Homo-oligomer: A and B are copies of this chain.
Amino acid sequence: MTTIYDIAKKANVSPMTVSRVINNKGNISEKTREKVEAVIKELNYIPNSAAQSLNIKKTKLLSLIITDITNPFFTKVARGAADKANQMGYQLILCNTDENYEKESEYINALISKRVDGVIIAPTGDQSTKNLKKLIKNRIPFTLIDRQIEDVSCDRVLGDNYEGTKLLLQHLIDYGHQRIAMVHGPLTISTSKERYQAYIETLKINDLKIDPAFLVETHYKQEKQWNGIAHLVNVSPADRPTAIFAANNFIAIKIIKSLREKKIKVPEDIAVVCFDDLELFSDFDPFLTVSSQPAYDFGYLGTQLVIERVDEVGPADYRTINLKPELVIRKSSGTPIK
């Protein structure tokens, strides 16, 4: 491996001079700069960033911690983060936690060891506070995206789960639905919790009764077999909900599959709506009615905010950016009842 010493020797200068031209620092005569640059090109020299990092204490490494890149929402988040990172000269380490706190902890340790400059994280849940504190202790700035964790000093890019839920439910109610079930994720995740609370609230405001049997909990993961809504539909049609609100797109898919297997038609027999779009899909078959979030921006802005912290150019006070959801009405919510 060639080093600045090799370059220095061949260019008849000191290693320091080489370092200076590499980093464009200090004053160097045009002549020596050209000479050094020629040798660098000739020897295909590329600086060892481990050695650089050891000195300057910056790695130009960022990490994106999400639960699953395979979830279309996070796929877009990742694209946004990767774009901003690239644009700013950073490399992005991808971490999938699978909603698993232990995995998240392992990643956090590895990232601290790597001395990444910053982290963009959608935490696995409320327990993550511990991991975030660890980042703070190690002076690694991070921005929280999508999922809220209270009482942590950091920037945030969050959605509006109340608004998104209300939009969806009000739409169903306006269509005449009175029996609306909800399938939500674990209440240790802020998005689940907020959507859950918004559901309760919206139903109350509309004087609809809240039936505990219509609230089913599942998780935010993909799986082949799922029978979460069995008790919702294995009853006489009159006792079934007329609409189901899925707390995210994965859940919606599971629900629609379940319904199809039981020969229940969407939206004719039961309407289905959900949080987060499946853009690629909706693009060629506008089917699902959703509260769509600007997923790309979560990643892009989240990354921008950390980089500002890394560069210490951000404002003293931590910021929270709120990204608005948009109601997209398509086929799955059917038509007004009666």
**Which A residues have a C-beta under 8 Å from some C-beta of B?**
1, 44, 46-51, 53-54, 59, 61, 63-64, 68-70, 72, 75-76, 78-79, 82-83, 86, 91-96, 103, 109-115, 134, 137-138, 253, 256-257, 260, 278, 280-281, 283-285, 287
Please state if A115 and B48 are interface contacts (CB–CB under 8 Å). yes
Q: Which residue of B lies closest to A96 (CB)?
A: B82
User: Contacts A50-B115, A256-B284: A75 and B86 contacting too (C-beta < 8 A)?
Assistant: no
Please state if B76 and A114 are interface contacts (CB–CB under 8 Å). no
CA distance A134 to B46 in the complex (A): 11
Please state if B91 and A114 are interface contacts (CB–CB under 8 Å). yes
CA distance A256 to B78 in the complex (A): 27
Residues in B with CB closer than 8 Å to A257 are: 283-284
Residues in B with CB closer than 8 Å to A111 are: 91
Chain copies in the assembled complex:
2
Can you spell out 5 A-B residue pairs with CB atoms less than 8 angstroms apart? A44-B137, A48-B115, A253-B284, A256-B284, A257-B284
Residues in B with CB closer than 8 Å to A50 are: 50-51, 53-54, 59, 114-115
CA distance A134 to B21 in the complex (A): 22
Q: Which residue of B lies closest to A53 (CB)?
A: B50
User: Contacts A48-B113, A278-B281: A96 and B83 contacting too (C-beta < 8 A)?
Assistant: yes
Q: Which residue of B lies closest to A91 (CB)?
A: B93
Residues in B with CB closer than 8 Å to A113 are: 46-49
Residues in B with CB closer than 8 Å to A78 are: 69, 94
Please state if A253 and B283 are interface contacts (CB–CB under 8 Å). yes
Residues in B with CB closer than 8 Å to A70 are: 75-76, 79, 280
User: Contacts A75-B70, A93-B93: A46 and B109 contacting too (C-beta < 8 A)?
Assistant: yes
Please state if A281 and B283 are interface contacts (CB–CB under 8 Å). no
* 6 more A-B residue pairs beyond the given contacts A51-B54, A70-B280, A78-B94, with a C-beta to C-beta distance below 8 A: A50-B53, A69-B79, A86-B96, A86-B103, A91-B110, A92-B94
Q: Which residue of B lies closest to A106 (CB)?
A: B86
CA distance A56 to B283 in the complex (A): 50
CA distance A284 to B260 in the complex (A): 8
Q: Which residue of B lies closest to A51 (CB)?
A: B54
Residues in B with CB closer than 8 Å to A54 are: 48, 50-51, 54
Best-buried of A47, A79, A280, A285 by chain B (most CB within 10 Å)? A280
CA distance A103 to B85 in the complex (A): 13
Residues in B with CB closer than 8 Å to A61 are: 93, 114
Best-buried of A48, A112, A253, A284 by chain B (most CB within 10 Å)? A284
Shortest CB distance A141–B (Å): 15
